Amino acid sequence: MNKQRCRLGHFIAGLGLVMASLSATADFSADITVKLLAPGGTTEDATPVSLTQTVAVADLASGVLAGNLGGTGDISGFMLDDERVSFAGNTILLRLAAGGEAGGQLTTGYLADGLDPARYEISGLAVPGHLITGYTVQAFDGFANSGSSGLLAPVVPAALVFLFNNDTISFNLDSIVFVPRFAGQTENYAEFRIDLLTTPVPEPQPAWLLLAGGALLLLRRRAS
């Protein structure tokens, strides 16, 4: 009887660990690819921009950095000072600087081509045991949830973001208008925080095996 109780206790503890692992918050688990696309070029050069960098999972906290921050690679070399795309937990952090002007308003300087927008495409987003189902977007200095913002338009920053195939985020660049907070074009910037919303994806095999083992223990206990 004592052995049966011990086994039953181990079963319950094991089941608890499985359930906890399914509901725990997890970080990105794989390399992430960042693309910078501006099919209409920039305000200074109409040549289309198509650049790609892959960020190793071990380097996600640094991400893609501008050259003045120590970044290397095609996108890093194209970024304005202090710009970055980095990752923390299951959050994407972007800092964008004003690089152009249109109609007296400060813009990124990246241009669309018709319905094909200028954008960052961030793919390979994977959170272990979870399915990415949505996102929230903030546009405050310091990647915070409130405070000062360098974003004048769009009024709702979530309008800049689109989720594709549960693993790819597109971030629109050509519709951003910056608040002219400082003298000089490139001194103005905006910071964005994209928090991905996830739902646990059960891994039925371990839980099923534990449940089956528990049922067998209960049957043996009743038979004795």
pLDDT at site 183:
77
pLDDT greater than 80 at residue 148: yes
pLDDT greater than 90 at residue 156: yes
Helix, strand, coil tally for the chain in percent (to 5): 30, 35, 35
Judgement on whether residues 211 and 151 belong to the same structural domain of the protein? no
pLDDT at site 23:
38
| The two three-digit tokens of residue 187, written as one number | 């001194």
- Quote the percentage of the chain above a pLDDT of 90: 73
Which residue type sits at 15?
A: L
More confident residue, 214 or 13: 214
In angstroms, the CA 186 to CA 101 distance is: 11
Judgement on whether residues 42 and 125 belong to the same structural domain of the protein? yes
How do beta strands 32-38 and 100-102 pair? unpaired
Judgement on whether residues 10 and 91 belong to the same structural domain of the protein? no
Instruction: Write the burial class of residue 215 (CB in 10 Å: 0-12 exposed, 13-18 middle, 19+ buried).
Output: exposed
Mean pLDDT of the chain: 86
Judgement on whether residues 18 and 62 belong to the same structural domain of the protein? no
Judgement on whether residues 15 and 59 belong to the same structural domain of the protein? no
Judgement on whether residues 171 and 208 belong to the same structural domain of the protein? no
Range name among 118-127, 160-169, 203-212 with the lowest pLDDT average: 203-212
Judgement on whether residues 17 and 55 belong to the same structural domain of the protein? no
pLDDT at site 201:
85
Tens of pLDDT, residues 165-201: 999 999 999 999 999 998 777 689 999 999 999 999 8
Judgement on whether residues 48 and 111 belong to the same structural domain of the protein? yes
Judgement on whether residues 10 and 43 belong to the same structural domain of the protein? no
Judgement on whether residues 168 and 191 belong to the same structural domain of the protein? yes
Question: Phi and psi (nearest 5°) for 209?
Answer: -65, -40
pLDDT at site 182:
85
| The two three-digit tokens of residue 66, written as one number | 């501008």
Tens of pLDDT, residues 197-221: 999 987 655 544 555 555 555 556 6
Judgement on whether residues 55 and 145 belong to the same structural domain of the protein? yes
| Section 119-127 average pLDDT | 97
Q: Residue 24: which pLDDT band, with cuts at 50, 70 and 90? A: very low
* Structural domain boundaries, residue 133: 32-200
Judgement on whether residues 189 and 219 belong to the same structural domain of the protein? no
pLDDT greater than 70 at residue 20: no
Q: How many domains does the chain have?
A: 2
